[in-house]
Amino acid sequence: MQRRQVGACGLSVGRLGLGTMTWGGDTPPDVARTLLRDFVEAGGDLIDTAPAYGGGRAEELIGQYMRSDLRRDDLVIATKAGFGTHGGPQGIDTSRRALLDDLTDSLRRLRTDHIDLWQVHAWGDAPLDETLAAIDQAVNAGNVRYAGVCNFIGWQIGTAAAWQSAVPGRARLVSGQIEYSLLARRAEVEVLPALNHHGMGLLPWSPLGRGVLTGKYRRGVPRDSRGGRDHLSWFVEPYLDTRSRAVVDAVARAADGLSLSPAQVALLWVRDAPGVTAPLLGARTPEQLGELLDTEPYDLPATIVEALDDITGGPHQARSKGPIDK
């Protein structure tokens, strides 16, 4: 698998990442183990997780498999802090205490002494300088190598990144994670320009439009899909509208012409979009993951990219200005 630098920092990762949101829940441990092994065998190393995933179970599984199946050095572990129960109802808490408590628990569950990429899971109500001071403390202690943010909008990224770069010795933010796909291009308006300006890489989640771009919902909602499950149907429903169906139809037509699957076309569009470091794959089965990993030798023709741009919102402004360093 080809590698990319995360923004302007010294960390490099494979150009596809593996997401673990369903591990410990809809994805059983034996399947998670197979997914992790298949991903690493294909040259992948970026594993994205969080304390909130499976109530910590996703991190526990990764920690277990690093002892039984893989070496710690085989993986670039990206986890998060600031979203979870924290002893009460689930919610956002980006205070120094909550973040550092999350870090301590993540290190224990992952059975490691450091996190490669530690991310603030969401913008919170705690003073920003307190949140960012927790990152500095974790990096200075050696528990964290690099830091980033998740689900921040443009001005939030700019404010946080500028604060960290204002004083020598603060831990610079190197990445931002947000939803980005042919069905969700809002990141191009403010998030991508902010990341690019501050030398940060983009780690898109749901590059397949929450599974809708695979085409599996074209004739209804399969019972075994996320949309067919009561606890996840809310996640898929926003993309089951008329506009989304038109986009899925266009992706399917492109896939037919290229002898690829719709999922592969949708992933390739995101993978090679300007500013993207590594889309995070939320595959729930080895078959799904294998299909996506098989995209490694492929690139979409420029004419297909332009057509998909036009159908889903218009030209990609960064693309028209020339390539952004990955």
Q: What angle do CA 287, 55, 44 make, to 5 degrees?
A: 35
Residue type, 186: R
Pairing type for strands 83-84 and 3-5 reads unpaired
Catalytic residue, from 53, 65, 180, 239: name it: 53
Pairing type for strands 3-5 and 12-14 reads antiparallel
Check if 53 is active-site: yes
Residue type, 120: V
What tokens does 134 get? 């927790």
Please state, in angstroms and as integers, the Cα–Cα distance from residue 238 to each residue in 99, 233, 243, 266, following that order.
Answer: 31, 9, 10, 18
Alpha helices per DSSP H over the chain: 29-41, 57-68, 96-110, 128-140, 154-166, 191-197, 233-236, 242-258, 262-271, 286-293, 302-311, 317-320
**Which residues are tagged catalytic?**
53
